[in-house]
Structure 1
Amino acid sequence: MQHRWTRPTLLAGLVAALCSPATHAQTTARNVANAADDGLQEVVVTAQRTTSLESKTPIAMSVLSGDALRAGGFDTPAELAKRLPNVHLDGAADGLKITIRGVSNSDATDKGDPSAAFLLDGIYIARPQNQNGLLLDVDRIEVLRGPQGTLYGRNTTAGAINVISHAPTRKLEAAAGIEAGNYNSRKASGMLNVPVGDALALRAAVAVDRHDSYLRNGQGTPHTLGQDRDNQAARLSARLALGTTASLLLRVDGATNDYDPDSFVSDNNFFRNADSGNPVWYGAPASARLTNTFRPVNVVPEQGWGHSSTSGVGAEFTWDLGPATLYYLGAHRRFGLDFLTNYIYRVAPVLTLGVRQNFSGVQEQDSHELRVATNGTGPLSAQAGLYYFDERSRSSYTFRDLAAIVRVPYYAFPTDPTTANSRAAFGQLTYRVTERLRATAGARYTTDEKARRGATTFQQGPVFNAATDLASPNAASIETDKRTWRLGADYDLTQATFVYASVATGYKAGGFNDGCIGGTVTLGVACPAIVGVSADYLYYRPETLRSYEAGAKARFWDKRASANLAVFKYDYTNLQLSGNAIVNGTPRFITTNAGVASVKGLELDGTVQATPDDRFTYGLTLLDAHYTSYSPDGVHSWAGRKLDRAPSHVLSLGYERRVRFANQELRAGVNARRSAGYAIGVPSKLVQYRIPAMANVDASLAWRPVGAAWNVTAYGRNLGNRIAPSTVDSFGMSVPGEPRRYGVRLDYSY
């Protein structure tokens, strides 16, 4: 790998050596629109929990503005990945799947944890099913790559994504937008900001997003399929000034989505020999990729349906005490989900069943953080805080049509409750050693408690009957803790060049699988010896890593060009991997520790403002993410194999041209991205699905009369209509990526 990187690394080093002042890692559309002739614009971020210029923030990060989202027609987080270096955001059947620098997790159940934290206005959103909602009245999205174990806590071994919405301002303003596109797409959004006196400001935002299914039904039934959407979302915010030194920001939000959860096709749509466990990619048109032709021999599929609802109330309190500022951030959130879906369930190469599943569940979470940060311009700046998180879930999975392997008509997982509790204390300080050199040290101590009480039941009917049915308990509890830390330094080579280096650690809590330990009583549930499992099977250990990173952010050519460089190396221990497997004749979803993994890479990106009307963006990532010690079954070694969604290199280029004529302004832009091939692994089946190299092109065209309050934007995404699977599971179900999308949007602002 070192040999292969020799020339790109030297090139990146040469670019960094020639660079002058720093710039942001990801140029936003707002900056494109507002860039003046004197160069690129700065971006203010809160990646380190206090405001700073992105160009002076010692973290590899990307920033996307709300204007960029609207210009590209992006409505959900899953649609953003192709604009982010070394990031995959996949809209899986069970929620948003985040992969950063090859680090991911596939346990989306209520007992699992992601490897990257997803936050909404600083509030951690625990469940992947609740992360891929409408992006409503967004100011910006900050994507932090690499472990964020000090300031953001557990479950940030891969990084963190923070969606930051607009807060009320002391200005009367309004905005509205309507959009139409293919797949019968219809969208509308609106915002109203009203100052109420000198102390109070209110802001309301609403959005509606509907489109038909991307999938075609080739099963011989009249049913519609999934990857459709019927979303509605609203948020009301109020900012109250409490004297001259304190303020309170309150947010209340809610959203619903009615959809079809049958969002998958067979892996045979992409791979030959998938049934035999030796999948080989083959070419096919998009229409074939998106057609579900699986016809189960054991059941007639039903019409799938799904309904989700989410709501939340949050508060941010800020009090300037003079030498320091006190911050409080807290929220209560609730997420409900009900659906019926039709699964593809490959039991063996010669036997693939159709399975209908009903699900009903509710998740509630509360989080509170109290933090204090120093003010002033002295040599020492510091912040410290306390954090508390509590999650409670109850759910019921019911599978039908599995009589061929479990000999009962119904197979269910009732759980009430699953709980997770996390507490942490953290602090970070930065000392200005000289006018140019700063040193940073941070630490966090976290304790996590998880517990679940439920069962695996074998039933003759949809409702459990103790007289005729059997139940095997699922009962476990675990407590883990970890100290994570960060040491770093950053230095202004010149007024225009910023370099940094850091060593950091990350941690993801341990957990448990289905089952119980025979002869024990856990959470008041007795576990008979005959159904018990071993502790080594039931529990898995925390995931930890140590990260080494160095980078440079620079501006040059009279502030008309930028370059951002990051090199990194991770050492992972006990990487957590999840998948379905048959254990003692029973289908179970299990997580195991993958032993040791290594991740190293390089990221280079930036912007060139060639003329006041011509702008180029570029990006290059190199990545080597592989297992160094891992045996999925205790016999076969996967040492040297790639981690999931870890292409060895990705190249991206963008160009935007502005043309003015007769009091009109046109902006045309194109973004191209080529990714090397990568793999999606199913360790429980000893299979890796290899996706070949693929290119993707997006384009947009915007028109606005000079000085007008409205504009029209046309966009197209995935113009080549190249479709790869977002996910593939151990039962042969694959979720296709988004097809070619295009639309036209009209925006008005006051």
Structure 2
Amino acid sequence: MSKKEFRLNPSLLAAAAAGIMSGNAAAQEASIGTTPAEVVVTATRLPTLASRTPVAMSVVSGAQLVMEGSDSPAQLGKRLPNLHLDQAAEGLRITIRGVTNSDSTDKGDPSAAFLLDGVYIPRGPAQTFAFLDVDRIEVLRGPQGTLYGRNTTAGVINVISNAPTARFDASAGAEAGSFNSRKFNATVNVPVSPALALRAAVAGQRHDSYLHNAQGTPYELGLDRGERSARLSALLALGQDAALLVRYDHGRASENNDRFVPDTNFYDGISTGTPNWRAGSTDQRLTNAFRPPNTVPEQGYNEKRARGLGAQLEWKLGAATLTWLGSHRRFDQDMLVNYYYRVAPGFALGVHNLYTGKNQADSHELRVSTDAARALSGQAGLYYFSEESHTTYSFRGLQLLGLPPYYVFPSGPTKADSRAVFGQLTWRMTDRVRATAGARSTHDDKSRIGSTNFQLAAAFNPATDTRLLNAAQIETSKTTWRLGLDADIGASTLAWLSIATGYKAGGFNDGCAAGSTALGIGCPPAIAVPASTLFYQPETLRSIEIGSRTRLWDGRATVNAVAFDYDYTNLQLSGVAVLQGAPRFVTSNAGVASVKGLELDGTVQVLERGSLAWSLTLLDAHYDVYSPDGVRSWAGRKLDRAPSRVATLGYDHRFTLGGGQLTAGMFARASSEYVIAVPSQGLSYRIPSHTSTDLRLGWQPQGAPWSVLARVRNLEDKVRPIAIDSFGMTTPSDPRTVDLRVDYRF
């Protein structure tokens, strides 16, 4: 709801909510195929107009998500500059400007933070749930260490849901499409009293697998979907100067995590260490015909459950505003995956991976901010985050490697605690020029107790089985800072220059330090892991960014330009390596990397009924110093998912026809080639240049409460790898899909 709408409502609820909701002002469609409009965002943790916010970012509204059919994070990536969002088997993988991380285990951290209503969601599998009643999504590119904290070296994705408002509103929608796709969603907003409003939202969706099973079994494969979610929100006015917003959300997903095919579906020459892209139809690429020589695949499954309780209190104290944001979240997952597990060039095993995990996280932020219109304004705060996980990975089928029938990794508790103090000041040097300085001091404490078990049966038997200790603890600290200068050039252009640093916490791998003891297991020197292998150091970077935002022709067009230069140190990369005679998942520091590029995007209103949006990105992201095996140098090689050039073009047009409005739209994305590398195997997979096109056609009768929308996604029906792991398991992109949607507003 916009500030104007609140001012028009004289109720106590609207008056109190104006403050807490100023950051939730409805984002107008600000990207592909929409009319240029002003948008209120909270990228700086305070409500500002997007056109006056000196940060490289993109904003997508909830209405735009519905129009495009982007109902999950993985479907959003291709729409925005220098962003890859890929739903791999292990969860959501975020790549911004070529910077990513592949360690999705309970001990790993992402390079980009995924937030739901400002709350950090730490685990990749918990980030894959469908969008529910979204107001807008803000994507910030570049390090955000000062205001958002650790693990934001690549950037931030903040999904902001609709909050209750002071008027009754209800809507419902349903979809049906290819692969037996069906979806529904509904929302209702009820102002209970002048001081209280409630909002409820529910959604569900399902579609069959995109993959074809040629393994000779009757089982279904992955790339399917089955999900239900709900959210209940309450907004309570506490007098004229304070408001409390409380949200509870719950989501369940029942899917299949056998969502991959062998890399040989896309490449030849893997056995020689030089994968070469080969021709193939979409059906061939989406067919899993691997027949394991050692076992028979079982029916895979992936059961996920997420729930969270969050609260935001905003209290105006004269010249300052006090904000508290707190959250408690839980995530459970149980799955069975049938691995394609390459153990030697040209030879792979079938391995059954059974996983169970329970994760809970608590976070609190207390922040004080002053009016941004003052000559000297600022914000400062305290932050606390705590996470605890209990997981068990169990592998069956590795006997040909000399391992027992059950190769098991029970871990827990795995803990991560982070504490930070931060502040940022802005000085209005003149009416047009502002200088900003900020800093954040963060301290991270991580620990884990677990083991590597060699078992003859599903349950550990101390009489016949053996186990090695996995136990480590590491503390890392860093002060990140940001300096910025921004200026209004005329009435229509904002320009800025910023220098910022970022930090991602260090961590540990499997194993133990000599002399340590836990779970009744010792760690003698003969099996201890050297500190250089057991631990990896924090990832840090320095970023220089120059940008501008310009509105032209009385707001009928926008042009945004950003140039950036990163200097990365200790980039964290992950993969499988053999330690102590058994395969382990290892993260190491990649030395030094360089990232620089240019991002251009804009919108144009064409006549009265058309709107065009475009973008062009140029990117050079490569290693400066890196040797994955200590012998070969990868200096000069590109970082993963870092195409040198990407261009997008979208157009929408509205027609008055037959007593209603017909809307036609298209979106096209053209990408140059890029790579997905597996450093631990010395492999680099080239993804050729490609183009993807989406079409849509909508109809709404004049004055009618209902509308209908038809969509085609990936018109070319071409697929490509979006993730390739150390074993050769390749997750393909989605094929062409067609759907029809009906919406009704009460």
What does residue 559 of structure 1 align with?
555
- What are the residue-to-residue correspondences of 1:394-543 with 2, within 5 Å? 394-521=390-517, 526-543=522-539
CA contact (8 A) 1:597 1:627 kept: yes
Q: Does 1:177 align with 2:173?
A: yes
Distance 1:568 1:584, change over 3 A: same
Closer/same/farther in 2, CA of residues 142 and 723 from structure 1, 3 Å limit: same
Shift of 1:275: 3.4
Q: Quick check: 1:406–1:585 contact (8 Å CA) kept in 2?
A: no
2-structure distance, mates of 1:722, 1:174:
38
Look up the match of 1:293: 289
CA shift, 1:523, in A, is 8.5
Q: Secondary structure at the match of 1:478?
A: strand
**What does 1:597-676 align with in structure 2 at a 5 Å threshold?**
597-676=593-672
Q: Which residue of 2 aligns with 1:741?
A: 737
Counterparts of 2:515 and 2:72, CA distance in 1: 47
Which residue matches 1:157?
Answer: 153
Normalised TM-score (structure 1): 0.95
Change (3 A) 1:525 1:468: closer
- Does 1:125 pair with 2:117? no
What residue identity is the alignment partner of 2:484? G
User: Which AA in structure 1 matches 2:205?
Assistant: D
Shift of 1:532: 1.1
Aligned to 2:8: none
Once residues 32 and 391 of structure 1 are traced to their aligned partners in structure 2, the CA distance between those partners, rounded to angstroms, is: 37
Q: Distance in 1 between matches of 2:714 and 2:656?
A: 28
- Contact residue 411 and residue 450 of structure 2 kept, 8 A: yes
Aligned AA for 1:274? I
Normalised by the length of structure 2, the TM-score is 0.95
Q: Distance in 1 between matches of 2:708 and 2:694?
A: 17
Asked whether the 8 Å contact 2:32–2:79 carries over to 1, the reply is no
1:155 and 1:509 in contact (8 A); partners too: yes
1:303 matched to which residue of 2?
299
Q: Which residue of 2 aligns with 1:88?
A: 84
Q: Quote the offset at 1:33 in angstroms.
A: 9.2
SS of residue paired to 2:221: coil
Matches for 1:139-218 after TM superposition, within 5 Å: 139-218=135-214
Residue equivalent to 2:718: 722
Q: Which of 246, 249, 273 matches 1:250?
A: 246
Match of 1:234 in 2: 230
Deviation at 1:559, TM superposition (A): 2.1
Seen in structure 2, the aligned counterparts of structure 1 residues 32 and 281 have a Cα distance that, compared at 3 Å, is closer
Matched, 1:273 2:269: yes
Q: Indicate conservation of the 8 Å contact 1:30/1:67, yes or no.
A: no
Give the distance between the partners of 1:734 and 1:670, measured in 2 at CA.
29
Decide whether the 8 Å contact of 2:40 with 2:50 is kept in 1.
Answer: yes
Query: How many residues of Structure 1 are paired with residues of Structure 2 in the alignment?
Result: 721
Conserved 8 A contact 2:29-2:37: no
When residues 716 and 350 of structure 1 are mapped into structure 2, their CA distance, relative to the original with a 3 A threshold, is closer
CA-atom RMSD, angstroms?
1.4
In structure 2, how many angstroms separate the alpha carbons of the residues matched to 1:741 and 1:427?
47
SS in 1 for 2:526: helix
In the TM superposition, what is the alpha-carbon distance from 1:741 to its structure 2 partner? 1.4
For residue 463 of structure 2, give the secondary structure of its aligned residue in structure 1. coil
Matched AA of 1:450: K
Q: Is the 8 A contact 2:31 2:60 kept in 1?
A: no
Per-residue CA deviation, residues 515-536 of structure 1 (Å, 9 max, x unaligned), is 0112233698531222211010
For 2:419 and 2:299, the matched residues in 1 are separated by: 43
1:666-712 per-position Cα deviation (integer Å, ceiling 9, x unaligned): 11010111000000010001111111101010111110112222111
The reply to whether residue 104 of structure 1 matches residue 106 of structure 2 is no
**Bigger mean CA deviation after superposition, 526-535 or 41-50:** 526-535
Within-5 A mapping of 1:591-602: 591-602=587-598
Contact 2:272 2:345 in 1 (8 A): yes
- Aligned partners of 2:442 and 2:478 also within 8 Å: yes
Distance 2:389 2:32 in 1: 44
Q: 2:680 aligns with which of 660, 677, 684?
A: 684
Measured against aligned partners, the alpha-carbon deviations of 1:52-100 in whole angstroms (never above 9, x if no partner) come to: 0000000010001001111111111000111010000001001000000
2:400 is paired with a residue whose SS is: helix
1:19 corresponding residue in structure 2: none
Give the secondary structure class of the aligned counterpart of 2:64: helix
Distance 1:238 1:693 in 2: 48
Q: Which residue of 1 aligns with 2:7?
A: none
Comparing 403-412 with 352-361, greater Cα deviation is found at: 403-412
2:162 equivalent to 1:134 = no
User: CA 1:254–1:521 in 2, change beyond 3 Å: closer, same or farther?
Assistant: same
Write the distance in 1 (CA, Å) between the matches of 2:608 and 2:497.
34
Q: Is the 8 A contact 2:668 2:694 kept in 1?
A: yes
% identity of equivalent residues: 57
- AA at the equivalent of 2:563: V
Residue 571 of structure 2 is aligned to residue 575 of structure 1: yes
CA shift for structure 1 position 34: 8.3
- Distance in 2, matches of 1:369 and 1:378, equals 24
> Do the aligned partners of 2:559 and 2:601 also contact (CA within 8 Å) in 1?
yes
Any stretches of 5+ residues in structure 2 without a counterpart? 1-26
8 Å contact kept, 1:217–1:223: yes
- Contact 2:31/2:59 (8 A) holds in 1: no
Give structure 1 stretches of 5+ with no counterpart. Answer: 1-26
Contact 2:672 2:690 in 1 (8 A): yes
Give the ranges of 4+ consecutive aligned residues of structure 1 lying more than 3 Å apart after TM superposition. 27-35, 521-525
1:407 and 1:195 map into 2 onto residues whose CA distance is 62
Give the superposition deviation at 1:31: 8.2
Check the 8 A contact 2:362/2:387 in 1, yes or no.
Answer: yes
Cα distance change, pair 623–308 in 1 and its aligned pair in 2 (3 A): same
Corresponding residue of 2:367:
371
- Out of 109, 114, 119, the position equivalent to 2:110 is 114
2:351 aligns with: 355
Equivalent residues in 2 for 1:675-714 (5 A)? 675-714=671-710
Contact 2:28 2:37 (8 Å CA) reproduced: no
